[in-house]
Amino acid sequence: MVAATVPLHVLSIEKDGLKIGPLLFLFAQAQSLNPLARRRSSGCRTMDALASQAKQAGRLWLAGFTEACSLHRVVIFCLSSKMLSIRTGQCFLLNGFIFLGSLFTLKSAVIPTLMWILPDQCEKLSSQSLCDHKAALALYSFLRFILVQIFYIFWFYPLYVFSFILCTLWYNDIAKNAFDVLGKQGPSNAQIPNRNDLPDSQSVRHMGRPGGFERVLLGIGEQVYSILLLNIFFIEIFAMGFIPYIGKAINFLLLSLMYAYYCFEYKWNFSEKSLNERLEFFESNWSFFAGFGSPCVLPILFFSTLVSYGIMAMLYPLFVLTAAGTQSEEVIDFIKGSWGGGGPRKLRLFYAADKVSMLVLQLFPKVSKEH
C-alpha cells in the first residue's frame, strides 16, 4: 500500500476556538513558553489596565470639576434665602473688600510712600551728602522693613485670625441655611433621609449607633478625631510642597482634596454620615473630589500666600453651596455604571494621618480605648 500524503498546510488544529495551521500552532506554543514573551504580554496588560484607570479617574475628575463650577446653584440658594444672601455677602465683604483691600493698599500706597520717604537710591535722596555714608541707605532699608512688619503684625495677622474665626461661623450658617432651602424643596434634593424612610441597610446602621448622651459623646469624639486627622493631613500637604520638581503639583492635588472634603463635610454633618463612612466614600472616589476641589485652590498657582488665602476664603462659601446642591453619590454611581461598576482604585489618602492620629490619641489612654 502507498501511504496517502496530506500537504502540511491542509492540516488544521483548533486552538482557542479558532482553526490554525500546525506551523502557526507550533509558533504560538513556542511563544507561550517563552518567558520574555510572557513578560511582554503581562506588561501590555498592566499598561492597558493603568490606561483604563487613568481614563476613568480623568472622567470622574472632570465630573467633580463640573459640579464645583455649577455656580447657578449659588444664585438659586441666595434667591431662596435672605439670611443665606447676607452671610455670603459678609464673606465677600470681609475677605474681598477688607482683607484683600488692605493688601492692595499696602502694596500700592503704603510701601510706595515708605520708598519715597525712605528711599533706597542715592538719586532720590534730598541731600547728596547722605550718599557718602553707606549706613544711611542701610538704615532706611531697616526702617522700611520694620514699619512694614509692624503693619503685618498689628493689622494683617490679627485680621487673618479674626476673619478665620468669623468666617468659620458664617460657613456653618451658610451650610445650615442651604439645607433649610433644600429641605423646603423636598428630601430628594436635600439628601437628608428620614429615618422612617431609610432602606434596611441604612436603618441597621443608624440603629447600631448609640442614642442620647452616648450619641453626643460619640459625635464629639468624631469631631475631635476629624480635626486632628485633617490637621495632620495639612502638615503632610505642607511638607509635600518641598519635594523638588513635583512638589507643587502634589501640593495642589492634595490641597484640592482637602478643600473638597471641607466643602462636603458640612453636608455630611447635616446628613449624619459617620466619620468612617465619609472617609471610605472620599477615598474610594478621590478623583471626583480632586476635581471638585481644584477650582477652589487655583489661586495658589498664581498669587502669594496671603492673597491666595483671601481669594479662597472669599470663594469658599460658593463651593460649600455647590457641594450642598451636588448629589455626588448619584453622579458617581451613574458614571461608574457605564463601566460596569468599576472605577479607579481606592487611595488610602489618610493612612499616614490616621496612624499619627492614633499615636497621639494613645497619649490619652481613656480616649484611645473608647475610640
pLDDT digit string, tens, across residues 54-97: 888 889 999 999 999 999 999 999 898 899 999 999 998 988 88
The reported pLDDT for the residue numbered 31 is 54
The reported pLDDT for the residue numbered 142 is 84
pLDDT-based confidence at residue 214 (cuts at 50, 70, 90): low
Contacts of 1 (CB under 8 A, 6+ apart): none
Query: 10 Å Cβ neighbour count for 178?
Result: 30
Whole-model pTM: value is: 0.74
pLDDT-based confidence at residue 201 (cuts at 50, 70, 90): very low
pLDDT-based confidence at residue 209 (cuts at 50, 70, 90): low
Q: How far is it, in rounded angstroms, from Cα 169 to Cα 131?
A: 54
- Given a contact cutoff of 8 angstroms between Cβ atoms, the answer to whether 296 and 319 are in contact is yes
Mean pLDDT on 346-367 = 81
Position 246 in a domain: yes
Mean pLDDT on 250-257 = 92
Mean pLDDT on 93-103 = 88
- Given a contact cutoff of 8 angstroms between Cβ atoms, the answer to whether 177 and 80 are in contact is no
Position 121 in a domain: no
The reported pLDDT for the residue numbered 253 is 93
Domain that holds residue 60: 11-68+209-371
Tally the domains of the chain. Answer: 1
Q: What percent of the chain is predicted at pLDDT more than 90? A: 15
Mean pLDDT taken over the chain: 77
Position 124 in a domain: no
Question: Looking at this protein, which amino acid is placed at residue 15?
Answer: K
Helix (H) or strand (E) holding 19: strand 18-20
The reported pLDDT for the residue numbered 319 is 93
Position 145 in a domain: no
Tell me: pLDDT of 190 over 60: no
Tell me: pLDDT of 218 over 60: yes
Position 62 in a domain: yes
Lowest-confidence region among 5-14, 36-45, 93-102: 5-14
Rg (CA), the chain: 31
Tell me: pLDDT of 211 over 60: no
Of 225, 260, 259, 255, residue with least CA distance to 239: 255
Helix (H) or strand (E) holding 339: none
Lowest-confidence region among 21-30, 158-167, 250-259: 21-30
The reported pLDDT for the residue numbered 322 is 93
pLDDT-based confidence at residue 283 (cuts at 50, 70, 90): very high
Position 228 in a domain: yes
Position 203 in a domain: no
Tell me phi and psi for residue 209, to 5 degrees.
-80, 140
The reported pLDDT for the residue numbered 224 is 81
pLDDT per residue as tens digits for the range 171-185: 888 988 888 888 876
Lowest-confidence region among 4-13, 198-207, 353-362: 198-207
Tell me: pLDDT of 368 over 50: no
Position 103 in a domain: no
Tell me: pLDDT of 308 over 80: yes
